[in-house]
Amino acid sequence: MARSNGGIIGKINKASFGKCAVTVVTNTGTSPVSSATTVVNVLAVAGGGAGGQGSPIGGGGGAGGVVQGCISVCGSAAVVIGGGATGGASTFPSGPLSYQNGVNTTVTGINSANVVTACGGGGGGARGPGGPLAPGKGSPGGSGGGGGNPGLAQTNPGVYPATAGCAVSGQGNNGGAGAHGSGPPGREAGGGGGGHGAVGGSAAQTSTSPVAANAGAGGAGTDFSPSYSCLPNSGVLAAGGGGGAASPGVTSADGGSSNTGGRGSSSNPGSPRSAGAGVANTGSGGGGASGGSNPSGNGGSGVVAIKELNKASGVWSMQSQFQAKKQGTWPKPPLSPFTADYLVVAGGGGGGTSPGPTRNGGGGGGGGYRTSGYGPSPLRGSAIPFSAGTTYAITVGSGGAASGSNPSKGSSGTDSVLNYAGPANITSDGGGGGGSVCSAAGASGGSGGGGAFPGPGPCTKGAGNTPPRSPISQGNPGGAGSNSPPNEAGGGGGGATAAGGNGTFFSCGTGGGGGAGAPNTITGSDVSYAGGGGGAGKGVNGSASPCGSGAAAQSGAGCNQGGGGGGSQGPGGPGIVVVRVPADAAGAISVTPGDNTVTTQPDGTGVARFTVSGNLVIGNY
């Protein structure tokens, strides 16, 4: 019988003789590899986000996501280089603004299971008359966009933490927050976009007499030249764009890594300057806009490096075989049943709508949160069993839609499900939609939606942990709306670790804050999930949860964190499912489709991360 190692009994390993040759790819196409190479290590950098558009200022664009991983190839790899986003005008628009996000970069090997995907950088936040950017929030992305100024109905002066855009876990860092200094209108500064090496800087007031403030600098990139030769920009990639600045006394900020990310623009008469673009083929973010004549900078296009790996095979010495036999690693035994940790977060609920002068829509509830480890101990269940040679179906819940322009309750998020043993499963329930002026009650769900105010009497909040999940509760109730007309306000949505805040009559109606979510490190990064959305107030909007959800009118946290949407048209964020397997099973797991990922942690454990519905496949060895 023919054998792949010449008919001699011995340990077998798939051959790859790439000699560690590195190919840098800057344009979309097919990249050939040596016929002797079967495994490559890929560095993929997505396109950077553009700086925030509009007036008076915009936040810096976030860097494109960075992913490194190994895939199998046969003769070539298909490469799609993500483009950098195009910057926008600096004039105050007549219609809703949109995010200027970078484009994903992908590298595909022998099949759809061998794909590396880096997510486009988030566009900078800006202030506009409506739409997703109305509150100035930076967009989520590979690295998050820097925040702008939330605009009307916000306390001045101050920094607005809820405006910072969040990053995709493991691909980059969050953007910085925007700010408004004391003094006349226009003393505003944008936050810096996140970079792969550091969080974007937050804008800050530095003096009140005279009034002075600084925009946030772009987050630093990372130097990849020690691992991959011949990269653009001497190997420094994925820096964030700087925030823009407006009016006297306010200073714009540089982009990350010596303006690899674009510098922010300035309409300060004493130090005017235009916005810079992210350096091409570095995936860096563009600088933020300012005033009426300084548009935002473009994001830089992405890049790919492909390293062809050496991987020995064939005949091994008798000594190495004896050692392997003694250690029990050859012949390799079949994989035994094992237990693994999990995180299952459902989609967050959408915010309720109450347009016009009432502005009392309730915040959406965070998606149900269930986990066996890596988060707060009171919320941990038990690890669950898995078997070799089995495929497990995974469902990732979507965020609930915002209620639209007519007064109506926000839509609830949908469930996330991990089917792990026949009919047995772990299910987290979608967050409840926020209440509205025409349907006061927030919906019940994983965490409940905040209530609104339709008239005299109590304003019902949605219940959390509905239906009940045991042995650990999956969420908390929303907050009640204010019942003190004419000072109406919606309640905040419930979160994984706290109930939503009640709306109050203070300051002509103050929306309740979103309930706090839960931090968790199961993916290897410290990310917070399932926070509640802030309620809308006639006078002051409720704050977002500190764990990833929208303030009033903002979307729930992107990046698959299951955050609730803010009151008055904020959509909920999508959920996530994560399975972390022991080290001896890490090499046996794969996922479908290619949007989902498998990574190996420093301790050898394997992490399967699902951002869309698919399958977890566990091999026999």
Residue 390, judged by CB atoms within 10 A of its CB (0-12, 13-18, 19+), counts as middle
Q: Give the pLDDT of residue 426.
A: 94
Residue 544: pLDDT over 90: no
Residues 6+ apart with CB under 8 A from 131: 95, 96, 97, 98
Asked whether 47 and 102 are in contact (CB, 8 A), the reply is: yes
Pairing of strands 606-610, 576-581: antiparallel
Task: Say if CB 529 and CB 369 are below 8 A apart.
Answer: yes
What tokens were used for 369?
A: 């949160």
Q: What are phi and psi of 540, to 5 degrees?
A: -135, 130
pLDDT bucket at 486, cuts 50 / 70 / 90: low
pLDDT in tens, 187-215: 788 999 999 999 999 988 777 666 677 89
Q: Which amino acid is at 361?
A: G
Query: Is the pTM here over 0.85, yes or no?
Result: no
Mean pLDDT of the chain: 82
Cα 364 to the chain's mean position, in Å? Answer: 18
Mean of the pLDDT values across residues 54-70? 89
Q: Give buried/exposed letters for 452-491 (b at 16+ CB in 10 A, else e).
A: bbbeeeebbbbbbbbeebeeebbbbbbbbbbbeeebbbbb
Strand partners, 180: 158, 188
Confidence of residue 480 (pLDDT cuts 50, 70, 90): confident
Quick one: pLDDT band at residue 34, thresholds 50, 70, 90? confident
3-state secondary structure 70-97: EEECCCEEEEECCCCCCCCCCCCCCCCC
> Biggest alpha carbon distance in the chain?
88
Closest listed residue to residue 562, CA positions, set 370, 462, 380, 430: 430
| Residue scoring higher pLDDT (587 or 3) | 587
Q: Cα separation of 175 and 200, whole Å?
A: 4
Helix (H) or strand (E) holding 329: none
pLDDT digits 0-9 by tens, 115-153: 888 999 999 988 655 444 446 788 888 999 998 876 544
What is the pLDDT averaged over residues 211-224? 89
Task: Please name the helix (run of DSSP H) or strand (run of DSSP E) that holds residue 322, with its range, or none.
Answer: helix 318-327
Task: Give CA–CA dist 226/140, Å, rounded.
Answer: 29
* pLDDT tens digits, 381-420: 999 999 988 999 999 999 998 766 666 788 999 999 999 8
Confidence of residue 445 (pLDDT cuts 50, 70, 90): very high
90-125: per-residue pLDDT in tens? 776 655 567 789 999 999 998 877 888 899 999 998
Per-residue pLDDT, averaged over 290-310, amounts to 89
pLDDT for the residue numbered 438:
64
Residue 252 CA neighbour count, 13 Å, CB half: 38
Q: What pLDDT does 309 receive?
A: 76
Q: Of the ranges 245-254, 257-266, 331-340, which is most confident? A: 257-266
What are the start-end ranges of the E strands in 336-380? 338-345, 369-371
| Rounded Cα–Cα distance for residues 114 and 558 (Å) | 25
Is residue 437's pLDDT more than 90? no
Task: Tell me the three state secondary structure of residue 602.
Answer: coil
For a pLDDT cut of 70, what percent of the chain falls above it?
78
**Which pLDDT tens digit goes with each residue over 560-601?**
889 998 887 678 889 999 999 999 898 889 998 878 888 888
Q: What are 488-543's pLDDT values in tens digits?
A: 788 899 999 999 988 876 545 678 888 989 999 998 887 889 999 888 776 545 44
Average pLDDT over residues 550-561: 55
pLDDT of residue 84 exceeding 80, the answer is yes
pLDDT band with cut points at 50, 70 and 90 for residue 16: very low
- Between CA 382 and CA 341 the distance in angstroms is 8
Backbone angles phi, psi at 369, to 5 degrees: -125, 120
- Under DSSP, the state recorded for 324 is H
pLDDT, one tens digit per residue, over 316-332 is: 556 656 666 666 656 66
The rounded distance, in Å, linking the Cα atoms of 419 and 581 is 15
Residue 282 identity (one-letter amino acid):
T
